[in-house]
């Protein structure tokens, strides 16, 4: 009997710890971070919560213990992502190991000692800069160049909108080192955000304010050769490997956000009366709740299955793309309909519905759009010769 859907006792206990943290520590600050997330005070609150999460062992779950992580698997990371997002709508505390795991997997010893350890201590804020103003989906056609000149690479170009620009001390940037080689010509670098030649700008996002969306312009930015992560030309492969599991976690985040909206709605429709009956007695209401719940529960379990596959070292490109697009779209539709079923009160900041919609609106775009996810799935099902952009 190898098929087993049960979490271990330790995982169930861990879920309770994260849930308690989310309800007691995060919930009171949702609106505050939404309002001030792009300002210093909001960012300081996020940092304070991150510190608490770190002390509880909720962060850096898939990082080995020798680097200060929890040495847990991806399913356990999924539990944390789910519990935090059910309350907050997304994961506010440092992306749960994602950047740390990237540095661990692809960085050399010196980079791990310098950057990874600082990240785990909370002394470093790190961002990822892939998207360019000319387009994010077609990553391989990126324009940013990193030309080797002796002991440095010289960076020219622009990245944006990307997360963390307001706060990052450093960021991982993907740039062309051999433009003529296409996907094989992209390399990754870790860059100190205060290096001369970097000009920053900021966006006012409609949701996920704590992301600090903005952009970087690079004019003659010198990056020491030792800051290149992995081999020259391997950037795209590292990036796609990272996206594979990050997208499955992202899917869980979204499903949890939608389920959080349904939890509140169910309480609401039991009490709110129209035409002498609780709203929950009307078939139209009940059916919609049932439909959203079914989609989100199915999405949730598919995300766990994908993370379970990752824990077993199986390939998950297709599965994680399915998690990402389906969960984000199902959750956005659920959140939108929850607002409708509550009526006007949910169109105000009395309820979290409008907040969840703004949060989830970004989820169908960030880390690869719904359309790109379908291209990935199509490629895996039909074969590489069927990708539409070739
Ligand atoms: C909340 C949030 C956080 C983000 N954080 C980061 C970050 O930290 N780092 C980073 O680098 N980027 C980040 N991004 C940017 C994100 O990765 C890009 O927005 C995304 O990859 C899409 O790129 P684009 O916005 O340039 O849209 P485009 O690539 O210009 O596409 C525009 C639209 O056309 C569709 N489209 C494009 N090509 C096709 C096609 N062949 N067939 C059908 N439809 C197509 C797309 O799906 C999209 O809907 C973030 C975005 C959001 C919303």
In this prediction, residue 93 carries a pLDDT of 56
Confidence at 92, pLDDT banded by 50, 70, 90: low
Q: Phi and psi (nearest 5°) for 133?
A: -55, -25
CA dist 136 and 132 (Å) reads 6
Mean pLDDT of 58-69: 93
pTM value is 0.96
- At residue 317, the 3 state secondary structure works out as helix
In this prediction, residue 3 carries a pLDDT of 86
* Protein residue with its CA nearest to atom 36 in ligand 1: 371
The closest-lying atom of ligand 1 relative to the alpha carbon of residue 159 is 11
What is the per-residue pLDDT across 228-240, written as a single tens digit (0 to 9) for each?
Answer: 999 999 999 999 9
Decide: 89 and 260 in contact? Cβ < 8 Å.
Answer: yes
Alpha-carbon distance values, 184 to 181, 228, 386 (Å): 5, 15, 20
CA dist 122 and 117 (Å) reads 9
Q: Which of 201, 199, 197, 200 is nearest to 223 (CA)?
A: 197
What is the per-residue pLDDT across 258-277, written as a single tens digit (0 to 9) for each?
Answer: 999 999 999 999 999 999 99
Confidence at 2, pLDDT banded by 50, 70, 90: confident
Decide: 174 and 166 in contact? Cβ < 8 Å.
Answer: no
CA–centroid distance, 360 to ligand 1, in Å, is 14
What is the set of domains in the chain, with CATH numbers? 9-121 (1.10.540.10), 126-229 (2.40.110.10), 236-386 (1.20.140.10)
CA dist 295 and 325 (Å) reads 12
50 compared with 358, residue with greater pLDDT: 358
CA dist 87 and 352 (Å) reads 10
Decide: 379 and 387 in contact? Cβ < 8 Å.
Answer: yes
Q: Is the CB of 366 under 6 A from ligand 1?
A: yes
Decide: 367 and 136 in contact? Cβ < 8 Å.
Answer: no
Handedness of CA 359, 360, 364, 367 (dihedral sign): positive
CA–centroid distance, 122 to ligand 1, in Å, is 29
Of all residues in the chain, the percent with pLDDT exceeding 70 is 98
Q: Is residue 15's pLDDT more than 70? A: yes
Token pair, residue 194, equals: 């205060």
Decide: 320 and 245 in contact? Cβ < 8 Å.
Answer: yes
**Residue 173: HSE in the Cβ half-sphere, 13 Å Cα cutoff:** 36
In the DSSP assignment, the letter for residue 294 is: H
- At residue 267, the 3 state secondary structure works out as helix
* Protein residue with its CA nearest to atom 11 in ligand 1: 130
In this prediction, residue 90 carries a pLDDT of 77
Phi-psi region of 275 (alpha: psi -120 to 50; beta: other; left: phi over 0): left
What is the per-residue pLDDT across 309-337, written as a single tens digit (0 to 9) for each?
Answer: 999 999 999 999 999 999 999 999 999 99
Q: Which of 172, 175, 226, 222 is nearest to 198 (CA)?
A: 222
Q: Is the CB of 133 under 6 A from ligand 1?
A: no
In this prediction, residue 94 carries a pLDDT of 52
Alpha-carbon distance values, 46 to 26, 30, 91, 189 (Å): 9, 10, 11, 26
Q: Which of 177, 129, 123, 186 is nearest to 149 (CA)?
A: 177
Confidence at 297, pLDDT banded by 50, 70, 90: very high
Confidence at 97, pLDDT banded by 50, 70, 90: confident
Q: What is the DSSP string of 40-73?
A: HHHHHHHHHHHHHHHHHT-SSTTS-GGGTS----
Average predicted confidence (pLDDT) for the chain: 95
CA dist 74 and 164 (Å) reads 24
Q: Is residue 96's pLDDT more than 80? A: no
CA–centroid distance, 95 to ligand 1, in Å, is 19
Q: What angle do CA 26, 28, 29 make, to 5 degrees?
A: 70
Mean pLDDT of 291-308: 98
CA dist 186 and 158 (Å) reads 15
CA dist 298 and 249 (Å) reads 15
Q: Is residue 112's pLDDT more than 60? A: yes
Q: Is the CB of 317 under 6 A from ligand 1?
A: no
């Amino acid at each position: 009997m190898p098929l087993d859907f049960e979490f271990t006792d330790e995982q169930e206990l861990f879920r309770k710890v994260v849930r308690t943290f989310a309800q007691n520590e995060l919930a009171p600050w949702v609106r505050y971070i939404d309002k001030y997330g792009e300002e210093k005070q909001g960012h300081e609150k996020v940092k304070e919560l991150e510190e608490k999460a770190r002390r509880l062992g909720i962060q850096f779950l898939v990082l080995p213990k020798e680097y200060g992580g929890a040495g847990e698997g991806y399913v356990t990371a999924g539990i944390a992502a789910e519990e935090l997002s059910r309350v907050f709508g997304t994961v506010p505390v440092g992306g749960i190991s994602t950047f740390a795991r990237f540095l661990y997997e692809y960085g050399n010893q010196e980079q791990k000692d310098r950057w990874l350890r600082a990240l785990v201590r909370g002394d470093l804020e790190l961002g990822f800069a892939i998207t360019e103003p000319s387009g994010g989906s077609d990553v391989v056609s990126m324009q940013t160049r990193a030309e080797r000149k002796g002991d440095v690479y010289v960076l020219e170009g622009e990245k944006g909108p990307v997360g963390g620009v307001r706060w990052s001390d450093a960021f991982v940037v993907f740039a062309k080192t051999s433009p003529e080689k296409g996907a094989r010509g992209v390399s990754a670098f870790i860059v100190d955000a205060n290096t001369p030649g970097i000009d920053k700008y900021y966006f006012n996002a409609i949701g996920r304010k704590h992301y600090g969306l903005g952009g970087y312009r690079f004019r003659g930015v010198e990056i020491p050769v030792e800051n290149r992560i992995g081999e020259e030309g391997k950037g795209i492969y590292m990036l796609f490997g990272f996206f594979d599991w990050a997208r499955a976690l992202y899917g869980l985040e979204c499903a949890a956000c939608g389920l959080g909206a349904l939890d509140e709605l169910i309480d609401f429709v039991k009490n709110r009366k129209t035409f002498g009956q609780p709203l929950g007695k009307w078939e139209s209401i009940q059916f919609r709740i049932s439909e959203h719940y079914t989609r989100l529960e199915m999405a949730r379990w598919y995300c766990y299955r994908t993370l379970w596959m990752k824990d077993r070292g199986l390939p998950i490109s297709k599965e994680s793309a399915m998690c990402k697009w389906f969960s984000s779209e199902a959750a956005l539709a659920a959140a939108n309909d929850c607002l409708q079923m509550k009526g006007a009160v949910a169109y105000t900041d009395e309820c979290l519905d409008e907040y969840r919609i703004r949060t989830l609106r970004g989820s169908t775009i960030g880390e690869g759009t719904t359309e790109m996810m379908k291209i990935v799935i199509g490629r895996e099902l039909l074969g590489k010769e069927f990708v539409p952009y070739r």
